Structure 1
Amino acid sequence: METPKPKTVDAYIANSGGEARSIMEELRQIIKSTVPEAEEGISWNVPIYKYHGILAGFDVARHHVSFGVDVLHDEDREILKEKGYKTGKKTIQIKFDQEVPGNIIKKLLKAQAKINEVKTNTK
């Protein structure tokens, strides 16, 4: 029997492996403190935060947590790579034994929030 899909971020985190929980809790806290107006919810079966559109989200994988945000640029990728993080087009992989790169994530969240505000105000 398939496990039910989580309907809240609390349930998503609770249903995840212990190694991933602290990373997801920290990401959640960073998102909420950086953009307090962001709405938290589950979309595409993962935690997503919305602020004038999609702000960011995260997802657990076998050996890491992926943090996703649209504004991940090459200079951010280089900084993250130097610190040992793997990045995708719009994601940062945080392995279970790595610290959450909080300062970079805060910078990315602020940049994405600004972009989303501008998009909303120019419609």
Structure 2
Amino acid sequence: MWKCPKCGREFKNKEQDHFCVKPNSIDEYIAAQPEDVQSLMQSIRGTIRAAAPEATEKISWQMPTFWQGENLIHFAAFKKHIGLYPGGEATSEFAERLAGYKTSKGAIQFPLGKPIDYELITDIVRWRVKQAEG
């Protein structure tokens, strides 16, 4: 077991990614990230906001979340990537366009240091809005 020296929580993995303090807003979440990641997170947030203007922002599962009758999409920062969590069907629906990314059911990893496909994020979010409305 590894114990975080900042918050004292114990984890199975050494140097496990986690938040020592639970963020109360997306602003707090982004502010807690390294500077080079903050601008990416703000850009992703703006992209989601533009694609889902009716959605409200909140923290859910300790991640920035956009809500519109249900959780539309979550996003989160990690050491080597930014995770996007649009739900299980999205990775199947967008499989061709996601071919160059690591995915799992409901999760997409955008590696840090590589350009982020904001058009893809826009299309996924618009698709999720239609799902939520339907």
TM-score by structure 1 length? Answer: 0.85
Match of 2:104 in 1: 88
2:43 is the counterpart of 1:10: no
Per-residue CA deviations over 1:23-47 (Å, capped at 9, x if unaligned) read 2111100111111111101111111
Asked whether the 8 Å contact 1:77–1:87 carries over to 2, the reply is: no
In terms of Rg, which structure is larger?
Answer: 2
Total equivalences in the alignment: 116
Structure 2, unpaired ranges of 5+: 1-5, 8-19
- Higher RCO (C-alpha under 8 Å, 6+ residues apart): 1
* Cα distance change on mapping 1:73 and 1:67 into 2, 3 Å: closer
Q: Give RMSD over aligned pairs.
A: 1.5
* Cα distance change on mapping 1:85 and 1:19 into 2, 3 Å: farther
Q: Percent identity over the alignment?
A: 29
Structure 1, unpaired ranges of 5+: 119-123
Match of 2:115 in 1: 99
Match of 1:37 in 2: 54
How far did residue 4 of structure 1 move? 2.0
TM-score by structure 2 length? Answer: 0.79
Match of 2:14 in 1: none
Whichever structure has more helix as a proportion of its residues is 1
Mapped to 2, the partners of 1:73 and 1:8 lie a distance apart of 27
